[in-house]
Amino acid sequence: MIRHRWTSAADATLRALYATHTAAEIAAAIGCGIKAVYTRARYDGLKKSREWIAARTSQLMADPQHPGRSRQFQKGQTPWNKGVPYQAGGRSVATQFQPGIRQGVAVSLWKPVGWLRLNADGYLERKVNDDQPSYRRWRGEHIVVWEAANGPLPKGNAICFKDGNRLNCDISNLECVSRAELMARNTVHRNGPEVAAVSQLLGAIKRQINRKETA
């Protein structure tokens, strides 16, 4: 695979367009692959704008051909966690809202189970429940799709996109790899194969030292 060499002009174009354009549009403007755009943006710490994320999510949800539409909860379908009680401790039971009650800004922010959104890092997320804590209500769409076909994600593993497109959550585009393999891939993308090889060698030396010290 030929790595794209980033010039100052290409970097400037990426920084100018990333917040409000898709990776495909940016790749076409620069003349590189989509995966190169995502990798460079992550390296530079670039993020999508909130306005673009909201507009893109609405566009995706309105497209009847989007893969996520077929996997949404349908009207009348029973969620897998319905009837599973949530156990809270301390004084939280006395102070929490009663089931089904929403007040203030929560009314306008609430989304139904099965809703898709685009997070700040460019990943699709699916709402899987309405339980507490609230941060557990959303899961990566790529993880939901992979687990639906293969079962729970093994501990210490992650799901990658074969084509580098974070919006392509089709099962044929998803790959389960170890965290170590993911780290090695990211090291290659950011610093080149030579640095990655040195990093792996240092890791192997440290493991050998640890084995001898604990023997």
Where in the chain are the domains?
9-46, 49-72+107-178
What's the pLDDT at 204?
A: 67
* Owner of token pair 């006395």: 94
Instruction: Evaluate if residue 79 carries a pLDDT over 80.
Output: no
The whole model's pTM is what?
Answer: 0.46
What's the pLDDT at 172?
A: 93
Instruction: Evaluate if residue 126 carries a pLDDT over 90.
Output: yes
What's the pLDDT at 92?
A: 66
Please say whether the structural domain 49-72+107-178 has been given the CATH code 2.40.50: no
Instruction: Evaluate if residue 86 carries a pLDDT over 70.
Output: no
What is the dihedral sign for C-alpha 208, 210, 212, 215? Answer: negative
- What percentage of the chain reaches a pLDDT higher than 90? 34
What's the pLDDT at 131?
A: 85
Q: Give residue 78's pLDDT band: very low, low, confident or very high (50, 70, 90).
A: confident
With a CB cutoff of 8 Å and minimum separation 6, the contacts of 138 are 117, 125, 126, 127, 128
Coil, strand or helix: which one is 126?
Answer: strand
More confident residue, 177 or 61: 177
Instruction: Evaluate if residue 69 carries a pLDDT over 90.
Output: no
